[in-house]
Chain A
Amino acid sequence: MTDLLGLVWAGVVSGCLYAMGALGIVLIYKSSMVVNFAHGNLAGLAAFLVFGFTAGILGHMAWGAAVMLSLAIMVGAMALTYLLIAPLVFKSDLTSTIATLGVGLIVQGLTQMVFGSDVVSLELPLPSWRMALGPLRVSAYDLAVLAVTALAVGALYLLIERTRVGVAFRAVSANPFASRVCGLSLRRIHLFAWIVAGLLGLVASLLIVPTTFLSSTSVAAFMLQAFTAAVVGGFSSLPGAVIGGIFVGVLMNLLSFYVAAEFTNTYMLAIILLVLNLFPRGVLSARGGARV
């Protein structure tokens, strides 16, 4: 029983990170109907930048400064990515998605060129204590993840529900044509969504590093879990992304322990196929249909 609780707990923690990745993907999809296949590579690059700035490759900064700088670069990178594929966004979703693959490849190459393909260790400035909370073993890392996720989700909620740009985002997601008629600038909303998604991705990838180490492929691999979470929750649902993330995290842990640990991606495939057969548009889908 303690095993089960511990697995579920760890699953919730990693699930939070998948949720953040999924939120980014869903934000982009809801606003611009593009699946950003470059998300993992971009988030990974961001984590590498933090590494580079703190470990001497690009500078010797303090953590705070490194993260700030990387955030700024991420904003630029996401904006640039969007602008590159902008001509395609209104024409065909599938082609814009293919274009994001192109961006992902370029970013992958850049990451490898600057930082090499080796695994590096990036130490997060977190205390390393752990304590026992009833049958659970809770570490500072766990709490940090939960806290950051709660903060991020809360901030996103406020942003979407309470600010003007959030309202505009919701309008564009629900009906882009009508929004345009009402005078909203679709491009600006898309940029907003992409940038916020990029920031979420950066945070998620930094937090995932302690569990997977950092290499040019590790963050991209983590993105499959985020994609699965987005698929499970319904690509058009932000709350669905969070629920999907936690669901995937917990299920993954249980399957790895009780069945076999080597089949992470196979489980993802099975989950995707199973969920989409039972719930064709995801568990919490808002609107369906693909405009191609």
Chain B
Amino acid sequence: MVHAVPAAESGRAGAARGLPWTGMALGAALALLPALAGGYWTFTLGLCFANAIVILAVSFVVRYGGEVSIGHGVFAAVGAYTVALAERYLGVSLLVSLPLAAVAGGVLGVLFAYPSRNLSGIYLAVATMALALALPEVLLYFSGATGGYEGLYVKRDAIPGVSRELQRYYLPLAGLFAVVLLLRHFRRSRQAMALLLIRTSAPAAESFGVRRGWARLSCMAASGGIAAIGGALLAFSSSTVSPNSFTLWTSIFLLVGSVVSLYSLSLVGSLVGGIFLTLVPLVLAGAGNWVPILYGGALMAVVLGANALPASVRRRLEGGHA
């Protein structure tokens, strides 16, 4: 059997073949960073890594589902609260509650995806907006368990013997590495190929047995699970969860991060989004009102700028239906 010799790595089609050198170099640098940087940076970057994971979840929905979500803060919240509640009621640390959080996120993804499976485009976007606005109401209603406005603390160490500061840095970093690698591998899977095809042509995919309902549910379940992992790590890194951290604005900012990263599923891209999301409020701490202005401006700059690019580059970046 003669095999076709793989063509030179085409950046656009097919699962990437070679090694991601930039990502690996960046990863190595980040792994060594605490040796050089102080506590402020390790804390901030820990949050940044966790945000980057949630942004990956948003980008996942755009890339594989062709949809835009302004409600992903909810899935992150589910992950965060799972960790906090597991600590409060079961006494377990992040190592046990993280997988629970992922499952919870996946389940919520399916629960939301099922009634909204036939919605798309703007209707789905409005539904995700409603989801994001409904979350604080639910959290506040069950204040007894969720701690109401004040929320809950996450105090348990995950790795005994290692300083809290280092845990808050390395666990989210490890999480980010893991998610990026999982997504890289996912791209080669038959599920990924089915999802990408059904975005191009639903009739074609259906003629090969791929159902729209399955595609939507799978996409949201996977995305919800990833976002929940990010949320869980956010809770661990910041040591608190409260409804304030998961408002509609949070979800919109997550979308901004995703757009700024050009919906990238790579380490570099997600970090660009994560850094943008985490550092901007800190840098502008004194002038908080500039934050939404800067986010809004960045969003528009990226969207309008991408629009000015040639069609072939744009097709790769944008996540719309063909």
Contact = CB atoms under 8 A, between A and B. Distances in A.
Interface in A107-138: 107-110, 112-113
Contacts of A290: 120-122, 321
A99 B130 contact: no
A91 B296 contact: no
A276 B255 CA distance: 24
A97 B122 contact: yes
Given A98-B255, A262-B137, A104 B118 contact: no
Contact of B127 (A104, A262, A273): A273
Interface string A234-276: 0100000000000000000000000010111110110011101
Interface string A217-239: 00001001001100100010000
Nearest to A274: B115
Interface in A13-57: 29, 35, 37
Contact of A235 (B122, B131, B303, B318): B122
A23 to B, nearest CB: 16
Contact of B129 (A91, A92, A113, A227): A227
B133 interface: yes
A94 B68 contact: yes
Contacts of B116: 273, 276
Interface in B195-240: none
Interface residues of B, number: 47
B7 interface: no
Given A94-B121, A265-B137, A272 B304 contact: no
Contacts of B303: 88, 95, 98-99, 102
A265 B130 contact: yes
Contacts of B293: 105-106, 109-110, 113
B304 A99 contact: yes
A109 B296 contact: yes
Interface in A60-107: 84-85, 87-88, 91-95, 97-99, 101-107
A157 to B, nearest CB: 25
Interface stretch (B9-17, B36-44, B167-175, B284-292): B284-292
A292 interface: yes
Given A88-B303, A98-B255, A292 B296 contact: no
Contacts of B131: 269
B220 to A, nearest CB: 14
Contact of B290 (A37, A92, A102, A109): A109
Contacts of B70: 37, 101
Contacts of A98: 68, 255, 259, 299, 303
Given A95-B320, A99-B299, A266 B125 contact: no
Contact of A92 (B119, B138, B255, B320): B320
**From A97, A104, A228, A260, residue with most partner B Cβ within 10 Å:** A97
Q: How large is the interface on A (under 10, 10 to 19, 20 to 34, 35 or more residues)?
A: 35 or more
A277 interface: yes
Interface string B107-134: 0000000011011111101110111011
B295 A105 contact: yes
Contacts of B290: 109, 113
B140 interface: yes
Interface string B278-322: 000000000011111111111110011001100000000010110
B141 interface: yes
B252 interface: yes
Interface string B154-191: 00000000000000000000000000000000000000
Contacts of A37: 70, 129
B126 A272 contact: yes
A264 B141 CA distance: 12
B130 A269 contact: yes
A265 B318 CA distance: 30
Contacts of B130: 224, 227-228, 265, 268-269, 272
Interface string A137-177: 00000000000000000000000000000000000000000
B125 A102 contact: no
Interface of B: 68, 70, 115-116, 118-123, 125-127, 129-131, 133-134, 136-138, 140-141, 252, 255-256, 259, 288-300, 303-304, 307-308, 318, 320-321
17 contacts: A37-B129, A88-B304, A97-B68, A98-B259, A101-B70, A102-B299, A102-B303, A105-B252, A106-B296, A108-B292, A112-B289, A231-B123, A272-B123, A276-B123, A280-B118, A290-B122, A292-B321
Interface of A: 29, 35, 37, 84-85, 87-88, 91-95, 97-99, 101-110, 112-113, 221, 224, 227-228, 231, 235, 260, 262-266, 268-269, 272-274, 276-277, 280, 290, 292
The 4 A-B residue pairs with the shortest CB-CB distance in the complex, in nearest-first order: A105-B296, A109-B293, A102-B299, A106-B296
